Amino acid sequence: MQNINLRIINMEDVETEQVTWLMKPYLPFGKISIVQGDPGEGKTTKMLAIAADITRGRALPNSTATEPMSVIFQTAEDGLGDTIKPRLEELGADCSRVHVIDESEKSLSLSDERIEEAIIRTGARLLILDPAQAYFAGADMNNAGGVRPLMKILAGVAERTGCAIVIIGHLNKSKSKSTYRGLGSIDIYAAARSVLTVGRISEYTRAVVQGKSNLAPPGKSLSFELDPVLGFRWLGECEATVDDVMSGRSAKPQSQFAKARRLIEMMLADGYEVASKIIIEAAEDEGISYKTLNRAKSELGVITMKHSDGWYWQLPIDAVFTETSQYGQDDKVDRNHTLTTLSILEQKGGVPA
């Protein structure tokens, strides 16, 4: 009879371990997570924002501040000097804590021993691979036999180092069930302990929806803004679903009243007194009627006053700024609209002294 090298593990001998989190319940330490979405929807920006925050020890959504951590950001799509570093600087990252494995002589793959060595050498607590398609070493991503060994090797690296590993990937164009619009073989999806899908819910707003969570109850969907003036900012929880963001279904469009309210809030931010004619002109440019603007003005409790050159509007000192979400909820948001306000007033020739 042939000798079989058989080892048996008795569960009595296994030590119980607690899951630790980079961002609970979205990004666990020591495991693989997937961030997926259609091109241009903010997947990379969202992960760069998270990377920037942890290099400074800043609190992530639903988390508390920590000691600053190091990150490895591996990208095959964007230039380091002309794209990645400027974006990190804009997001306030400590770039001395962001590292990249040099691929100038040899391309990286999920099974590359350099990944584990780089994590150990830099002490990285987060490794980002962007996009997944570039790191499968030519393996057919739709073939379980090709991807399963690679994912197993990478999962082993995550477990041994305790590093949170995030794979960013593009969705395929299938119209089938959301699970199968992912990165390729279902084995990729199966190897991840958390799967986050990023998608558009309005022109500047994106949702992050957790479609899979093996280690904790799924987290609430989160939203963030990619404002051309204010840049990236987390907005808080939202009601978007995986199928909403994967199918490209936007929620109900913002009402004219909500637009009018936000316009007034932006233009009167920081206690500015602004000529009523400038606000009315700005509303007309946005297609907001005077009747709707006036209704929003009344609800916000705008104070009107007459100066020698005409009527002016001002928000009361105790005004609560809100942003009406795409789902009809009023989510209180701590925002600084100063840059946007100045931009509008400059266009209208009404920058306050």
The reported pLDDT for the residue numbered 326 is 34
pLDDT by 10s per residue, the chain, length 353: 567 889 999 999 999 989 999 999 999 999 999 999 988 889 999 999 999 999 999 999 988 889 999 999 999 988 999 999 999 999 999 999 999 999 999 999 999 999 999 999 999 999 999 998 899 887 777 676 778 899 999 999 999 999 999 999 988 765 544 544 566 677 888 889 999 999 988 888 899 999 999 999 999 999 999 988 778 989 888 888 887 787 655 544 455 777 788 888 888 876 778 899 998 988 888 888 888 898 888 888 899 989 888 999 998 876 555 543 333 333 333 333 334 444 444 454 554 43
Map tokens 């963001």 to a residue. Answer: 245
Q: Please indicate, yes or no, if residue 6 is contained in any of the structural domains.
A: no
Q: What is the DSSP string of 106-160?
A: S---TT-HHHHHHHHHHTEEEEEEE-GGGGSTT--TT-HHHHHHHHHHHHHHHHH
Q: How many domains does the chain have?
A: 2
Question: 310 pairs with which residues across the strands?
Answer: 307
What's phi and psi for 70, nearest 5 deg?
A: -95, 155
The reported pLDDT for the residue numbered 230 is 78
CB count in 10 Å sphere of residue 332:
10
Closest CA to 325 of 250, 269, 264, 270: 250
Whether residues 46 and 146 share a domain: the answer is: yes
Question: 10 pairs with which residues across the strands?
Answer: none
- Output the CA–CA distances (angstroms, integers) from residue 161 to 88, 125, 253, 301, in the order listed: 25, 9, 45, 56
The reported pLDDT for the residue numbered 202 is 83
Residue 230: domain span: 17-247
Whether residues 218 and 299 share a domain: the answer is: no
Which pairing describes strands 124-130 and 164-170: parallel, antiparallel, or unpaired? parallel
Q: Please indicate, yes or no, if residue 318 is contained in any of the structural domains.
A: yes
Whether residues 32 and 148 share a domain: the answer is: yes
Which residue intervals of the chain are DSSP H helices?
43-56, 85-90, 113-122, 144-161, 186-191, 242-247, 256-267, 276-285, 290-300, 338-348
Q: Give the C-alpha separation, 197 to 212, whole Å.
A: 10
Q: Give the C-alpha separation, 293 to 264, whole Å.
A: 8
Domain of 340: which CATH number? 1.10.10
The reported pLDDT for the residue numbered 247 is 64
Q: Give the C-alpha separation, 244 to 236, whole Å.
A: 17
Q: Please indicate, yes or no, if residue 353 is contained in any of the structural domains.
A: no
The reported pLDDT for the residue numbered 62 is 82
| pTM of the predicted protein model | 0.69
Whether residues 25 and 151 share a domain: the answer is: yes
Whether residues 165 and 24 share a domain: the answer is: yes
Q: Please indicate, yes or no, if residue 276 is contained in any of the structural domains.
A: yes
Q: What is the DSSP string of 96-112?
A: GGEE----SSS---TT-
Question: Quick one: 202 exposed, middle or buried, by C-beta within 10 A (0-12, 13-18, 19+)?
Answer: middle
